Each structure stands twice: as structure tokens, then as C-alpha cells.
Structure 1
């Protein structure tokens, strides 16, 4: 499984869809509206990672980690 940065995991939680393909679609749709270059780069990195992983790998992502202190 891919280790995500805190920023990537938070971004992923915000745009998370019902599955990997839906999440990819959400990120693609949101990207043109992201004004901050650093945040846009996080989205682009995350998009590349999601496109390279399998659905099974996506399903193994623990979204609970984003909310741990």
C-alpha cells in the first residue's frame, strides 16, 4: 500500500468518492478551481498515484489516519 503524506490523505478525504474511479473523477473536476499552486500540486500527485494503483489497493487505504492527532 502507498504511504500518503498528511496533505495527500486530507485532500483525498475531501474529494473521496464511492470508489477509486469516482475519486479520480472528483479530483479531475476540482483541479481547475484550485487557486493555490501548492494545493494543486498535491492534487496532481495524488491523481497520479490513484491512477497507478489498483482498486484493491485503493480499498485498503485507511481513511481514519487522516483524523488521528
Structure 2
């Protein structure tokens, strides 16, 4: 599984505190309202990685905002 980029982690931090499946659902619900094409692509990249990883792998991801 590919590691997450800083940008992907920062996007995931918006949904922090959720389990993997809830995060997937929330990102899918938000995508239609995102007006920036780069952000839509970033959200889709995150979804792709979240969908192929296990809950155990997700639990090991450090969700800390990077500046």
C-alpha cells in the first residue's frame, strides 16, 4: 500500500476521529460539493488508498496536520 502524502494526511485530518469506513463515506459525500478540481483529485486519491487498506492499517496511520 502506498503511503499517504502530506496533502492527503491533511485532508484526512478534516475527518479525524472517524473510523476508515466513516471517513470513506464522508469523503464521498463531500466530493460533489468541492469546486476545486485539484482538491477533488486529492480526495479521490485518498479514497482509493482508504478503500484498499484494512482497518488495522488505517489504525496505524498518524493523522497529524503538517504545515
Give runs of ≥4 in structure 1 deviating > 6 Å.
Answer: none
* Alpha-carbon distance in structure 1 between the residues aligned to 2:41 and 2:28: 12
**Alignment RMSD:** 1.6
| TM-aligned CA distance change 1:47 to 1:27, over 3 Å | same
Say how many residue pairs are matched: 67
1:18 shift after superposition? 2.0
1:15 shift after superposition? 2.4
Once the two structures are overlaid, the 10-residue window that deviates more, 1-10 or 47-56, is 1-10
Task: Give the TM-score, by structure 2 length.
Answer: 0.88
The structure carrying a bigger helix percent of its residues is 1
Q: Which has the higher contact order (CA 8 A, sep 6+)?
A: 2
